[in-house]
Structure 1
Amino acid sequence: MMHPHFLHRRFSYSRCFALAIGLTWAQQGATQEPLRLMFENRAPYAYKNKQGKLDGLIVQSLEPALKKAGIDFVWIETPFKRQLSIVEQDQDTSCATGVFMTKERQRYAKFSGAILHDQERPSIILAHQDFKIPPGLNLLQVLSLSKARLLKKEHASYGPHIDDAIEKSGIQIVSTTAESRNMAKMLVAKRGDFIFVSEEEARTLIKENADGAHLQIYTPSGMPQSQDRYLMCTNKTADQTLQRLNRALSPNL
């Protein structure tokens, strides 16, 4: 007959073994959950082409790296403000794609390495043609023009250089939750004087807007010539997942 103390130890080992197996299964289940990649339909970064397939600079950079890293993912079209809310709520493994890194966002989110090092598309100004800007002004001078109104998406960041200049200038900000296409329409309606976009996106917005002739492009002097964009993920997103992605991204950037 087995000693009671031996039976107790054997039972404890069995419980520990079962618990370890359960944790392993739970971890495997967590790693199998696809990464939810949230995007706005916004050319040239992420948009649906004429065939209805998702395309764009961020998609072309990110998808090969995710596949190389063996990370399951799904694209989900989500308004930008909602993306930030989902990441902050930290309810699942979701990431906002192609965003700028800021100190405020780092307080509640995890960031990947740069998924896009954009050297060809520095931010410029898209303005209503009646908003007269003298030639040769730098960014802070433009933002400091009398009665100027910046049309700005709520909670948006344009990178440290532009964000700092906006804060220093004290410019009047007209907030909106609209996407870029509707922001261009708001400029035509003179609900704001200008927005920040890449020149490529600005030309697309002018071309696609029936009243695009009322819009103009202005490039302040001294604008940063490259900006990095990142995945901004919930804290529930595993560090190992982001590390694998970063290793796969390195040769592509």
Structure 2
Amino acid sequence: MCLHAQTGAAESLKLLYEVREPMFYRDAQGNLTGFIINRVNQASKIAGLKIDWVETPFKRQLKLVENNDEALCAVGMFKNKEREQFAKFSLSIYRDSARPSIMLAHRNFQPDKSMDLLRTLSIPGARMLKKETASYGTVIDDAIERSRITIVSTTAESLNMAKMIAAHRADFILVPEDEALKMIASIEDRQNLHIFKPVGMPQGPERFLMCSAKVSDEILQRMNRAIQKTHP
């Protein structure tokens, strides 16, 4: 069990993350940073916890939390009913209010600019590239289900998903615009990509610590009190 008390030392908690700039990444000096990393580090200091950051692929994060073999949390996760069946959630650590999702799309995918999300998802023959078990928050998840769009599933990380769109393995991915711009700048075939913004996209949903059941309620309460103190 990775959550433990040590004599004369702060208790520790294992936190899982996947590199996704600007939320989680390493700077030029190799230091782990990003706006969610920094907020969680600030809260952990207030809570008196020593954080053990472990880079972990997204799908494995979900599996480790669900397996509940040790006390750990996946950082920056969306909450939904399926995940609430096996995980404990902190208070919101961040709301993507300024980062609504857009479509990073292949240049051949050119919906009418007046189309909203459901109509865009319902275009006949459209293919959405989606990471297995990923959630985009309740509003977008519901629109995807209602549209019955063809889903191309992948376990690839975000940048490789953008490369797959450039190679036209699917028509688009859903991602915050700032991440999309960084992806475009990083891809050799960037001329094959463009950003499409469906009308009326919802604000980005809240992100949480999604913890295994072995994380004690006392530790989670300490983190929650600290999170409240870090919110602007």
Provide the TM-score with structure 2 as the length reference: 0.94
Match of 1:172 in 2: 150
SS in 1 for 2:146: helix
Offset, 1:27: 7.4
Q: Could you tell me how far 1:66 is from its partner in structure 2?
A: 0.6
Deviation (angstroms), 1:213: 1.7
User: How far apart are residue 220 of structure 1 and its match?
Assistant: 0.8
1:15-54 to 2 correspondence within 5 Å?
28=5, 34-54=12-32
1:142 maps to which residue?
120
Residue matched to 2:48:
70
The aligned amino acid for 2:104 is L
- Paired with 1:27 and 1:50, the residues of 2 have a C-alpha distance of 33
Shift, 1:101, TM fit: 0.2
Distance in structure 2 (CA, Å) of the matches to 1:82 and 1:236: 17
Q: Deviation string for 1:179-202 (max 9, x for gaps)?
A: 110001100111110001000000
For the pair shown, which has the larger CA radius of gyration, 1 or 2? 1
Q: CA deviation at 1:28?
A: 4.2
Give the number of equivalent residue pairs: 228
Q: Deviations over 1:76-123 (max 9, x none)?
A: 000000000100110111111101001000000000001112221111
1:213 aligns with 2:191: yes
State how far apart, in whole Å, the 2-side matches of 1:110 and 1:134 are: 41
1:109 matched to which residue of 2? 87
| Structure 2 unmatched ranges of 5 or more | none
Name segments (4+ residues, structure 1) moved above 4 Å: 26-29
Corresponding letter in the other structure for 2:81: K
Structure showing the higher helix proportion among its residues: 1
Change (3 A) 1:228 1:128: same
**Secondary structure at the counterpart of residue 38 of structure 1:** strand
**Which AA in structure 1 matches 2:157?**
E
Which residue type is aligned with residue 188 of structure 2?
Answer: A
- What SS is found at the alignment partner of 1:205? helix
User: Which range moves more in the overlay, 212-221 or 139-148?
Assistant: 212-221
Equivalent positions of 1:195-214 (< 5 A) are 195-214=173-192
Task: Please tell me the residue identity of whatever aligns with 2:12.
Answer: P
2-structure distance, mates of 1:85, 1:142: 32
Q: Distance in 1 between matches of 2:230 and 2:96?
A: 12
Q: Percent identity?
A: 50
Which of 212, 222, 226 in structure 2 is aligned with 1:248?
226
CA contact (8 A) 2:117 2:200 kept: yes
CA deviations over 1:14-51 (Å, ceiling 9, x no partner): xxxxxxxxxxxx9746x965211100011011111111
Please list every run of 5 or more consecutive structure 1 residues that lacks an aligned counterpart in the other structure.
1-25
